[in-house]
């Protein structure tokens, strides 16, 4: 399994979403069309540790 850095996660987030924010507590919020709706907004995507662990499938 390849080691994934936070820099790689940030690059993927930048490509996939309009904006993103990684809070001090590690939670990642993104702006875009919210899941199961057709509305634009901000929503909790995941914790940064989970994004690193499941990098290929989540992003």
Torsion sign, CA atoms 50, 27, 57, 9: negative
| Residues constituting the chain | 59
pLDDT tens, residue order, the chain (59 aa): 578 899 999 999 999 999 999 999 999 999 999 999 999 999 999 999 999 999 888 77
Q: What integer pLDDT is reported at residue 1 of this predicted model?
A: 58
Report yes or no: 48 and 6 within 8 Å, Cβ to Cβ: yes
Q: What integer pLDDT is reported at residue 16 of this predicted model?
A: 94
Q: What integer pLDDT is reported at residue 13 of this predicted model?
A: 96
Name the 3-class secondary structure at 33.
strand
Q: What integer pLDDT is reported at residue 24 of this predicted model?
A: 97
């Amino acid at each position: 399994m390849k080691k994934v850095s936070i820099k790689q996660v940030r690059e993927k987030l930048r490509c996939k979403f309009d904006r993103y924010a990684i809070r001090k507590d590690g939670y990642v919020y993104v702006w875009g069309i919210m899941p199961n709706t057709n509305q634009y907004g901000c929503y909790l995507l995941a914790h940064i540790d989970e994004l690193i662990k499941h990098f290929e499938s989540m992003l």
